[in-house]
Chains A and B, each alone.
Chain A
Amino acid sequence: AALNDGLRSQVSAALKEGRVAPTELCQRCLALIKSTKFLNAYITVAEETAMKQAEESEERYKRGQPLGILDGIPVAVKDNFNTAGIETTCASNMLKGYISPYNATVVQKLLDQGAVLLGKTNLDEFAMGSGSTDGVFGPVRNPWSYSKQYKEKSVPKSHSEESNWVITGGSSGGSAAAVSSFTCFAALGSDTGGSTRNPAAHCGVVGLKPTYGLISRHGLIPLVNSMDVPGILTRCVDDAAVLLGSLAGHDPKDSTTIQDDFEPFELPNLTDVSKLSIGIPKEYHAPGLSSEILALWSKAADLFKNAGAKVVEVSLPHTRYSIVCYHVLCTAEVASNMARFDGLEYGHRSDMKDSTESMYAATRREGFNDVVRGRILSGNYFLLKQNYEKYFVKAQKVRRLIANDFVKVFRSGVDILLTPTTLSDAAPYTEFIQEDNRTRSTQDDILTQAANMAGLPAINVPTALSKRGLPVGLQFIGRSFQEKQLLTVAKWFEKQVQFPMIQLEEVKRHDSGVFQHQKSASFS
């Protein structure tokens, strides 16, 4: 078995048949994490506990009693999910040293099915950002920066790779990089404005944002309670379906999860798309969209058309207000959610002793970075009595208009929307940091954010490489709770485009089996 194998199709079978042992798989992943340390994808690597989990899994396989398809599979989790006994930092000084006393529900579910938790991945501080550059442990580097494909295309003006490397996107950049560099088979991210789909696009992996209310948020340190969802990052759509199957469902500990029963599903191999209606929202031809991605989007639409699907242009008229609306609602909820960090019960505590309030103020002053503090202050402004109706309630009304746009389009017979995921391929780090976080987020979230507003499921599928040799993905948005249809279409598309595998020197050195399944045909 190779580190790039698909879960359902290959690794699981290999484990069952004894061709590879869970401990071996775990060791290989841990070794690869060490040798790709320069990516800075992981904040904490839980080596001992991971090996122990792998050993327990091995015992189960020996007895012929694996817990399921995820038994023995190495996974990584974004560092804003609580993991019992393992530090959870949210890439912030506020939570450095905080050891969670419990597992987030999604983490517990993974462990209950025998998955091996390798470690916690890096992110923007408190998941605020679109680059994974603003955490206290430093930025995450996109593995594609070190790929043959990128190196071949980059002008050798700078002598070192040091200045050339590109960002992962964010805020779940660590998780995306971990999956992209083969250090794990799947990773959890979170998605509030695009934080799973954006890095998925830049790192060439599948990034699924499930319908709001499908997967429990219990234990996910909240950013925006009405929009946050756990995100799933994998190397292929089938694997995303496997993860979804093990994570979805009502959780009594999260009252915002729907009560309906969830049936895990296997994705059919769609051959006939003639009954499908694909909508192309014209407003997603946003200012700043690169001509390359525009062309790819158009090509994808043609792909569906030529295969017999109905492809129609649709309109989501309030799209251009979704970022503004998000900005107000997000900062308002953040102001509320960050209030819990006062130094008393957990996390950083200032030495200030004069009074409770001054201790809180000093603690928060020391613990939060500029981005977090900025959002808290803005949020509080919008929530002031004199501003509440004008901004917060107004934004809630605009939110309804945005959600209704989607309802209208889906009601008109469209099954799935096809849009770009990002405005361009990944920017070099040195270029990205020249704009401040808020400006960047505003620009980068524009294509992903509305799905969070409306609570709809959306997925990034890696599509092709850009002129610079970097991944570009396209996004599919589906109807509420229709993940099966969404993923089925995504899987069909994935098969058509045959996105190339990353050619990483590091991985080659470690895992000679990796290039067995090299895909040479590509979409562009």
Chain B
Amino acid sequence: QKVSVEVLDHLEHLALVDFRDSEGVERLHKAIQFADQLHEVNTDGVEPMDSVLEDRWCLYLREDDVTEGNCTKELLENAREKVEEYFVAPPGNIPLPKLEERETFLQGS
């Protein structure tokens, strides 16, 4: 079964990464086909495993004390666009253009 264009578009939005070409989409189809083998395994009554350390390790909370910080300068050094102590981003709250309006390979499908 092929993945619908709507879902492919939805994935590009969620991932903020593009399929680029038909090879990219084929890659996804192959990945799904491969993953489908999981359904051969009987997992009735089996609990999902989050961590191999589930028996040993209790996720602990430490005291809410500040132990480090004050490294604004170091943190800003790797950013390309900044103003004073702010990272600068282009305007937000503008959704990515819809499929019809975007220049994406998916338009042709």
A residues neighboring B (CB under 8 Å): 98-99, 101-102, 212-213, 226, 252, 255-256, 258-259, 318, 321, 324-325, 327-328, 331, 335, 342-347, 349, 352-361, 364-365, 368, 370, 373-374, 376-378, 380-382, 384, 390-391, 393-401, 403, 436, 438, 442, 453-455, 480
Contacts and interface: CB of A to CB of B under 8 A. Distances in A.
A454 B53 CA distance: 9
A60 to B, nearest CB: 28
A335 B50 CA distance: 17
Closest 9 CB pairs of A and B: A455-B52, A396-B48, A355-B94, A346-B78, A397-B43, A400-B49, A101-B74, A378-B31, A397-B46
A325 B3 CA distance: 21
Interface string B74-99: 11011111000001011110111000
A221 B62 CA distance: 23
Contacts of A442: 34
A327 B41 contact: no
Given A357-B16, A365-B18, A374 B34 contact: no
Contacts, number: 181
Contact of B75 (A101, A356, A357, A377): A101
A150 B1 CA distance: 47
B43 A212 contact: no
B38 A394 contact: yes
Interface in B1-23: 3, 7, 10-12, 14-20, 23
Nearest to B73: A101
B46 A401 contact: yes
Contacts of B31: 327, 331, 374, 378, 381, 438
A256 B57 contact: yes
A522 B38 CA distance: 42
A377 B7 CA distance: 11
Given A344-B79, A361-B17, 16 more contacts: A101-B77, A321-B40, A324-B34, A324-B37, A327-B34, A356-B89, A356-B90, A370-B20, A370-B27, A374-B31, A376-B15, A377-B15, A380-B11, A381-B32, A384-B10, A396-B48
Contact of A226 (B20, B28, B51, B91): B51
Contact of B96 (A102, A346, A361): A361
B66 interface: no
Specify which of A318, A321, A391, A398 lies most central, judged by the most chain B CB atoms within 10 Å of its CB. A398
23 contacts: A212-B52, A226-B52, A321-B37, A324-B34, A345-B79, A349-B81, A355-B92, A355-B96, A358-B96, A360-B16, A370-B20, A370-B27, A373-B24, A374-B28, A380-B11, A380-B15, A394-B39, A395-B35, A397-B47, A398-B41, A399-B48, A403-B52, A438-B31
